[in-house]
Amino acid sequence: MTMPTRSFKALLLCLLASCGMAAQAAEPVLFDWFDYQGHDRAFEQPLPAGHFRNPVLAGFYPDPSVVRVDDTFYLVNSSFAYYPGIPVFESKDLVHWKPVSHVIDKPTTLDFDGLNMSRGVFAPDITHHDGMFYVVNTAVDSGGNFVSTAKSAAGPWSDPVWLKGVGGIDPSLFFDKDGKAYLLNNDEPEGKPLYEGHRAIWLRQFDPVSLKPVGKRQVIINGGTDLARKPIWIEGPHIYQRNGWYYLMCAEDGTGPQHSEVVFRSRSVWGPYVPYEGNPILTQRDLPADRANAITNAGHADLVEAADGSWWAVFLASRAYDGTHYNTGRETYLLPVEWKDDWPIILPHGQAIPQVVKGPAFMQRDASQAPLSGNFDARDDFGSTTLGSEWLFARTPKQSWADLSSHPGKLAIHPLAQDLDTLKNPSYLARRQQHLTFEASTALSVPAAGVEAGIAAYQNEHYWYALGVQREGDHLRLSLRSHRGDDEAVIDSAVLPASVGELKLKISGDGKAYGFAYDDGSGWKWLERQADGTLLSTDVAGGFIGATVGPYARRLDNQ
């Protein structure tokens, strides 16, 4: 996968011109390659002709929103405090996706410094009207609700236009057949909330030219499907029109195992909206917790009608191990939608989300879902001058520390002083962990004195592992460090001869068992075989994201 040139050219041009002395204070660490291999047993199931694998976007790709323009589909996901932000994908069949851009693709657009990795940009919504794409989103703790526009999904995307006076989260746009546009969002209800998690869905008209909300705003759902039941966190609203009905679809009951999708309908866009008696139309909360190959947290869906009249739902869910742990975060799934008595149903009650699904009639039959789903080997030999779209920065980089030009064929990381526990941007290049069973490895030149470099597995600034090497007197010290909450520890270390110039490092994961190995030229040796992988799970680390892995370097002069 190659990054659309604008995103990283903008980053490189802007940051190379302004690169501070701090980024150049130490010699860069050179990485020869990075290899990621996924080996999930569930992905080894036979795939019958005309079928696809779920999730369609494996790894940390939560909160999907989808739109069709003619015969092409476009999808966006949350990226929280990772940069570039809000990935945009394109597909002809809803199954095989390719990245085409990022909405937040300039380092000057949003500043995530000081934010936990699960803050930043939440739950985007993508729509298209009169030749223009619109993405509305919430920059949590960094600006509020905004809209960005583009004439092409490949960009360029406009800088955020802030939606003044629109609070809460999860905004979305609906364009009615009469040309009027409406903005929906989650916010506090009128008056004082009646209980913890009591929220409402608000509606107001929207001017797609001035990009401003206009006129009155009105609560169209108070609390959820049944206020007497005290439903929590009604959010992720979308409106659709079909057969003279307006359908309002929302997520309900939080983003954990109780997560669900519910639907209402009305003859008027302003309501009143009546809930479907068979709600929820998607959930996994009524299944046994100890089931094999559990998929949990299902909800936050969006619907789209294909050109052949079929309807499909994209939604988030998580692949769990040991019942509750999931390191791959919230992923994007696809299922067909059945209409029953003019109500949409994504999955009947009591049914598990299938991992192999019959595809749309228009699905490409000879295409691979890799490297976004299934088992695969993805290797980056750093032969390009721009980073591939799989690579992410933890928060927005303000210095150009990732360099593919000065040493052709290698990734040069100019080490920053920040460690992985910083609330700024560490010199760590991340790619998503997409499998429960995987290996990630890299080869690097041993860094100069005063620098540590290696490979990391990272959930957020408080939960991570780092396998790194540094020069220590007349030898090298290879250390495996862990960070769990406020507790940092060196789990194990090894002394290597100072004559070692090249080193290979590897992380393996199999559910909760993580291993860390090295090769100093004499073959692979395990430093640790059974490190606790639950440290990297969302339910332990908190937040809304999944784990990432990748190369890192840091200066030691701050210690």
> Which residue, chain included where needed, has tokens 């479907």?
276
Give the torsion through C-alpha atoms of 475, 463, 411, 328, to 10 deg.
130
Of the candidates 107, 122, 130, 207, the one whose C-alpha atom is nearest the C-alpha of residue 161 is 207
Contact 227, 251 (CB under 8 A): no
Residue 213 CB contacts under 8 Å (≥ 6 apart), including other chains: 163, 165, 166, 183, 204, 205, 206, 207
Complete DSSP assignment for 510-558: ETTEEEEEEESSS-EEEEEEEEEGGGGSHHHH-SS---EEEEEEEESTT
What residues are annotated to the active site?
63, 235
For 540, phi then psi, to 5°, come to -90, -45
The token pair that represents 401 in the structure block:
């520390």
Of the candidates 132, 123, 121, 130, the one whose C-alpha atom is nearest the C-alpha of residue 158 is 132
The one-letter amino acid code at 27 reads E
d(CA 76, CA 67): 9
Contact 163, 103 (CB under 8 A): no
The three-state secondary structure class of 147 is strand
For 171, phi then psi, to 5°, come to -70, 150
Angle (CA) 192-141-83 rounded to 5° is: 145
Residue 468's H or E segment, with its range, is strand 463-472
d(CA 60, CA 431): 10
